Amino acid sequence: MGFNKGMTAILSIVIIVGILLTGCSSKNDYVAVINDGKVSVEEYKVYLWRIRQVYQSIGQEDIWETKFDGKPAEEVAKERALDSIKSIKLQVQEAKKMKLSLTEEEKEQIKTRAALLKSEIGEEEIKNMDISNATLEKIAEENILSQKLFETITKDFVINKEEFEEFFEQNKESLKQVRVKHILLKTHDIKNGQLVALSEEEQEEAYRKAQEALERAKAGEDFASLVQEYSEDEASLPSDGEYVFGRNQGMEPAFETASFELNVGEISDLVETSYGYHIIKLEEIIEPDKEVTEQSYYNLEKQSFYQSKVQEWINQAAVEINKEVWDTIKIKE
């Protein structure tokens, strides 16, 4: 089974790491000035690399032929990379205003994190981008410092208990999860990251087998055995076709709807999704754990509180793009 990943998700991602940059004449060039701090080309390349990886994980190389609200994907990716680095730089500036500094133990983490970053990007790409160890260590240090700022600002954060109780009561139903087992007969297969329709004959055979498996399941045959005999969902075969999920957690809408409409022990009729024909058996309805939910609620509220602070800094920041350098940055030659 796969997750529905909307393209809008990649437009809001704020993460760190690097890309091939062409046309810049000197390491002393800078991409932008954020308040009084310059963003070097080397730093920017590292942030842009990760954005490129995310975009291509969704749309492959073809993503760069796409437009978002009339704007080329390449330009949107460049802007998202600038958003990422702007957020970090402003957090670092605030940390310095608060006179935060790293402990010796935290300083020791810098080289380790820089090495992990270098390993993730790859030696060849690092060489192509001409990224120095000093730049990788600077990025690692700034991320450790921004995390320290987060911990400092949120250390006394508490949630409103009454608001949580109200939230929990209002959302108890939607917080439930289901544990299901399913059989999949494919009408489509994934090739190069894309769903590709099988031949008409193969789709007809999938339907025939699905009907056959459904009849046997409804007749009371062991469902796990039928999964092993029929199902073409390789990801779930080791667990006899099992998935555990809640509402709006990325499952195909038809699959989710059918699962939540079943009673425990009940078997669905054929459910068609973009992958093929499913037969679903509801094994268990999992009630939300209040303590776990409260911790998740707390974490989300704390993150939201901190992000509101970061957004204030962003709104107040003076950002100047070095247009001459910016225009030379190309994701694809």
* CATH number for the segment(s) 7-158+294-326: 1.10.4030
- How do residues 265-303 score in pLDDT, each as one tens digit? 999 999 999 999 999 999 999 999 999 999 999 999 999
DSSP letters, 252-301, are -HHHHHHHHHSPTT-B---EE-SSEEEEEEEEEEEPPPHHHHHHHHHHHH
Q: Which band of pLDDT confidence, cut at 50, 70 and 90, is reported for residue 332?
A: low
How confident is residue 59, by pLDDT bands cut at 50, 70 and 90? Answer: low
Q: Where are the beta strands (DSSP E) in 35-145?
A: 37-40, 67-68, 71-72
Cβ proximity of 185 and 213 under 8 Å? yes
CATH 3.10.50.40 residue ranges of the chain are 176-286
More confident residue, 61 or 155: 155
Q: When comparing pLDDT for 15 and 71, which is higher?
A: 71
- CA-to-CA separations, 201 to 160, 168, 208, in angstroms, rounded: 59, 49, 11
Looking at the chain, the domain(s) classified CATH 1.10.4030 span: 7-158+294-326
Right CATH for 176-286 from 3.10.50.40, 3.30.1050.10, 1.25.40.10, 1.10.580.10:
3.10.50.40
- Please state the pTM of the whole predicted model: 0.72
How does pLDDT run across 91-109, given as a tens digit for each residue? 999 999 999 999 999 999 9
